[in-house]
Each structure stands twice: as structure tokens, then as C-alpha cells.
């Protein structure tokens, strides 16, 4: 067994989810399987044990496959920092910022990184499940493609195309996508999967028969609409709340370049937390806790925050005893100023920040990427908590002498992180993933509620496992797994 690629007729057709489900199915059968996405564009990322950066979807798929994270799972990661440009990350490390036209010319070089990763995975794993990006039928992106059919042709692997029937026009999506491929590319397409179907499958059967007869390619399954399936989002912010017994209200400022909003999935799923994302043009309103999240362009997002009059609302919130938490870029905004002498994010070398704590931040070319563990100082607890850092910048100042966390393990030997204000109303940290730790979440939620809320934090890892098992069960029931396994074996 070797490589099988899942491509989609559109973005959000279900590629990431299908690969995750199939990873778990194959892992259940005792196969050593690796997820792979040649090129990913997303602001949600994860840190590997070796200190590299990959897309969040591939991190989830690795969990589904029961394997340790590797930068080879996502050799090219693009993190947009403007409407036309992105930070280019190769094999887990940022190499530069590129405008779209420049990156288009760079793809030939990027393909070599993709093929090197794929070759290493082939030597280590029995099966590789590849996720495409967007649609393979984007005419303007086909030249030097590394994300879809360009990769599939290069390694000569079979392809399954998935389409979302809930969007409507599923047969047009599938037939049209196939028609826009070359004959060689069409030959690699070995079947279709229809995703998110609701209703009587009998009413769909005539359409499935027509599709198979028209394309001479099989439908390998029809996946039902999985209500309340909650898995890490690749990019889009998931706003559905799951509160059943409100004890705490939390508002997250939805910044234009928000990064790693998966930090808040545990809060969104917590039965006692009413989580709300505050959008452009909205007022923050009443809340127990306001969170300023991470940002891929902290200077631009700080300007946006100030333009929304949210700074005035933050000050009023604090006067009435509310709490504020800044994470990563949000931490940097809480200080007195942010300096960018090398033009990492802006031509503006200095911007006045929110001045809610006495420190400044200088943006740097070097990007900190680490997995860490330690003890949260918001509560008297000896429980070890875990998190990860992804940031460009160094913060310095007296406020950091009252840290949020003491490290027990840090690859760079650092001993502390963040700050807690003297009145304990404002907290900042560079650490992502804190709310995924039930003990850390409990400490933060108890602090934010002034002790009213004593419930444990939501166990996201346990919930994720339940969701992956549910997804795999559904794949086993509704997909022709034996035919899919045969496709993997055929290209061995």
C-alpha cells in the first residue's frame, strides 16, 4: 500500500474530514498511515515535537492516524498576512514573505520540497493519505500546480474526488470538475464520494447511477450529514456555541488576521461558557472575560482594534471589574508599544499599543516555535499544563516580572511566560492551546469568574477522540472501504 489522494470540487467539500476519517479507519486495521498535504493555506497551525510548524488539519489527521506530528505531513504552509501576500513556511520553517505572483513563480522550487517529504514518508509508512487544496479545476492555478493534480501526476497516485451535496449542484460539481481536467488527470480519478447527504438515499440513487454511467467512474460512498461533528477547523472560524448552563460569558475579538482560533474550541464546547466572537462593526458589550487572540499581523490588527473603538470598551470593561486575556499577538497588544525595525509586518517602525501593562515588544525575523510545559500561576496548583508557542517577537519590561507561567520544560531554556497585572484583571501569555488543558482552563475560568465557576475545563482531547471514532464508524458504514483499500494497493 502507498499513496491515495483526496481532492474536492470546492473548498470545504470535506477533504480534511474524509482524510481524518480514513486515517483512523486504516489505523484501526493496524496499518501505519501518514496524512499528507503538499500545500496548505491557513492561519491555524500546530507545532511539531522538533519545533516545526504545520497546518492544524494535518495535526488532527496525525492524531486520527495515531502518529507523532511531523513537518513532512505538510511541507508547504502559507500563512496569509495581507490580501495578496503570505508567509511561506517550508518543512516547518518560515523562509520569507511573498506576494502571490512571486510565489507562483516559486512553485517549481516548492515542488522539490513536497516530493522530498513524500519520499521520506514512503520509506516510513505503509499508506499515505493525501489531502488536496481547494479544487483541482481552478484554471488560473493549474500552471506549476503542487497542491492537486500537479502532485498526483508527479507521483502517479490514484485520486478520489469529494463533493458537498449540501451546497447543491453536486452532479454539476463532479462532472464539471472532471471535464476541466486533462485526459491524463482524468485517468487518475478512480471514483467519487458525495458528502453531507441528508434525506432518503433511495431518492438519490438514480443520480448516482447516471453519474457512474456518464463518467464511467464509481461512486465510492455517500457520507451522511454528521450533525454536531466538532473537529479542529483548518481555517474558517466555527461560531456555533454549545452552552447549556451559562455561568461565564466570554467575548473573543475577531481580528482580520486572527490565528489559531482553535484555541477557543474548548470554550465553545464547554457547557457552562457562553462564547461569542465580536465581529467588525459590533460592540463588545457585557462579558466576564474579553480575549484578544493571536494575530498573523499584529500591527495591522492593533490598528483595526483601535478603529473599532474596542479600546474604549476594554477600558470601560476593566473599570467595572472585568477581566482581559491576551494570547500571543493579543499579549503584544496589551503592552505599551510594538516595534518593527526590520519591517517584518509593516513599514511603520513603532505603534503605540493598549498600555494595559508595562512592557514593549520588538518584532524579529526569528520565529519561536516550541512545545512547552509548566505551572500556571493564576491558581495554587501543581498540575502540569502544556501549550505551544508560535510567534515573531520578544517582549521585555517590568510587567513580565509577575509571570503567568513558570516553565518546567522549554527547549530554549526560558523559565517564565507572560504576565499577571497587579490587580489581577489583565493577563497575557504567548502560549496557545491552554484551554485544551482541563487544569489550565479551570484556573483561567475560575479567575475570570471571580471564583463563581468551579467546574473543570472541557477535556478537548477526550472529545476529539470521541469525534474521530464517530467519524471512522461512519466511514466504515457508508464508504466502500474495500475498494478504497484496493486503490491503495494498486499503486504499491
Cβ atoms of 233 and 259 within 8 Å: the answer is no
Q: 224 burial class (0-12, 13-18, 19+ CB within 10 angstroms)?
A: middle
Distance between CA atoms of residues 288 and 318, nearest Å: 10
Task: Please give the DSSP secondary-structure letter assigned to residue 139.
Answer: G
Distance between CA atoms of residues 446 and 378, nearest Å: 9
C-alpha cell at 196: 453531507
Q: Which residues of 415-448 are buried (b: 16+ CB within 10 A; e: fewer)?
A: ebbbbbbeeebbbbbbbbbbbbbbbbbbbbbbbb
Distance between CA atoms of residues 492 and 490, nearest Å: 6
* R_g over Cα of the chain: 23
3-class SS shares of the chain: helix, strand, coil, % to 5: 35, 30, 35
Set 118, 173, 270, 328: catalytic member: 328
Q: Write the DSSP assignment of 215-229 as a string of letters.
A: HS--EEEEEE--TT-
**Lookup result for grid cell 474604549:** 312
Set 173, 270, 391, 432: catalytic member: 432
Output phi, psi for 271, to 5 deg.
-65, -15
Distance between CA atoms of residues 69 and 369, nearest Å: 14
432 assigned to active site:
yes
Which pairs from 83-86 meet CB under 8 Å and 24+ separation?
A: 86/41
DSSP E strand stretches across 21-175: 33-36, 39-41, 45-47, 53-55, 76-80, 85-90, 93-99, 127-131, 159-164
Count how many residues are written for the chain: 492
328 assigned to active site:
yes
Distance between CA atoms of residues 165 and 223, nearest Å: 10
Nearest to 88 by CA among 99, 80, 78: 78
Which residues have a catalytic role annotated?
A: 328, 432
Amino acid at each position: 500500500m502507498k499513496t491515495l489522494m483526496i481532492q474536492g470540487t470546492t473548498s470545504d467539500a470535506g477533504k480534511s474530514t474524509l482524510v481524518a476519517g480514513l486515517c483512523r479507519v486504516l489505523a484501526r486495521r493496524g496499518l501505519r498511515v501518514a496524512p499528507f498535504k503538499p500545500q496548505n493555506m491557513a492561519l491555524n497551525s500546530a507545532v511539531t515535537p522538533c519545533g516545526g510548524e504545520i497546518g492544524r488539519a494535518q495535526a488532527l489527521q496525525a492524531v486520527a492516524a495515531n502518529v507523532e506530528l511531523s513537518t513532512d505531513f505538510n511541507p508547504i504552509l502559507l500563512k496569509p498576512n495581507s490580501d495578496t501576500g503570505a508567509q511561506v513556511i517550508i518543512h516547518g520553517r518560515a523562509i520569507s514573505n511573498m506576494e502571490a505572483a512571486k510565489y507562483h513563480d516559486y512553485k517549481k522550487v516548492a515542488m522539490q520540497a513536497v516530493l522530498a517529504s513524500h519520499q521520506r514518508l514512503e520509506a516510513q509508512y505503509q499508506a499515505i493519505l493525501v489531502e488536496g487544496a481547494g479544487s483541482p479545476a481552478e484554471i488560473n492555478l493549474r500552471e506549476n500546480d503542487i497542491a492537486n493534480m500537479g502532485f498526483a501526476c508527479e507521483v502517479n497516485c490514484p485520486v478520489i474526488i469529494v463533493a458537498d451535496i449540501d451546497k447543491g449542484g453536486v452532479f454539476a460539481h463532479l462532472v464539471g470538475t472532471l471535464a476541466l481536467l486533462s485526459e491524463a488527470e482524468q485517468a487518475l480519478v478512480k471514483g467519487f464520494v458525495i458528502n453531507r447527504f441528508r434525506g432518503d438515499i433511495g431518492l438519490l440513487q438514480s443520480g448516482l447511477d447516471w453519474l457512474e454511467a456518464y463518467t464511467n467512474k464509481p461512486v465510492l460512498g455517500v457520507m451522511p450529514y454528521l450533525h454536531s461533528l466538532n473537529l479542529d477547523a483548518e481555517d474558517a472560524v466555527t461560531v456555533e456555541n454549545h452552552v447549556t448552563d451559562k455561568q461565564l460569558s466570554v467575548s473573543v475579538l475577531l481580528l482580520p488576521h486572527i490565528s489559531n482560533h482553535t484555541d477557543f474550541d474548548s470554550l465553545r464546547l464547554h457547557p457552562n461558557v457562553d462564547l461569542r466572537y465580536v465581529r467588525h462593526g459590533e460592540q463588545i458589550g457585557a462579558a466576564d472575560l474579553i480575549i484578544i487572540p493571536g494575530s498573523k499581523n499584529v500591527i495591522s490588527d492593533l490598528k483595526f482594534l483601535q478603529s473599532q473603538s474596542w479600546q474604549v470598551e476594554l477600558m470601560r470593561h476593566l473599570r467595572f471589574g472585568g477581566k482581559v486575556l491576551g494570547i500571543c499577538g493579543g499579549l503584544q497588544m496589551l503592552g505599551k508599544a510594538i516595534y518593527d525595525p526590520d519591517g517584518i509586518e509593516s513599514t511603520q517602525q513603532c505603534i503605540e499599543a493598549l498600555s494595559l501593562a508595562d512592557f514593549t515588544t520588538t518584532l524579529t525575523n526569528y520565529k519561536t516555535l516550541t512545545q512547552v510545559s509548566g505551572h500556571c500561576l493564576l491558581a495554587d496548583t501543581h498540575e502540569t499544563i502544556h501549550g505551544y508557542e508560535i510567534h515573531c517577537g520578544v517582549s521585555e519590561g517590568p510587567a513580565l516580572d509577575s509571570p503567568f507561567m513558570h516553565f518546567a520544560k522549554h527547549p530554549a531554556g526560558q523559565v517564565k511566560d507572560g504576565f499577571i497585572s497587579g490587580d489581577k484583571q489583565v493577563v497575557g501569555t504567548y502560549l496557545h492551546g491552554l484551554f485544551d488543558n482541563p487544569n489550565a482552563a479551570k484556573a483561567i475560568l475560575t479567575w475570570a469568574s471571580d471564583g463563581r465557576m468551579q467546574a473543570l475545563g472541557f477535556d478537548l482531547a477526550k472529545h476529539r477522540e470521541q469525534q474521530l471514532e464517530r467519524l471512522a464508524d461512519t466511514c466504515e458504514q457508508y464508504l466502500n472501504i474495500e475498494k478504497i483499500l484496493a486503490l491503495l494497493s494498486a499503486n504499491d
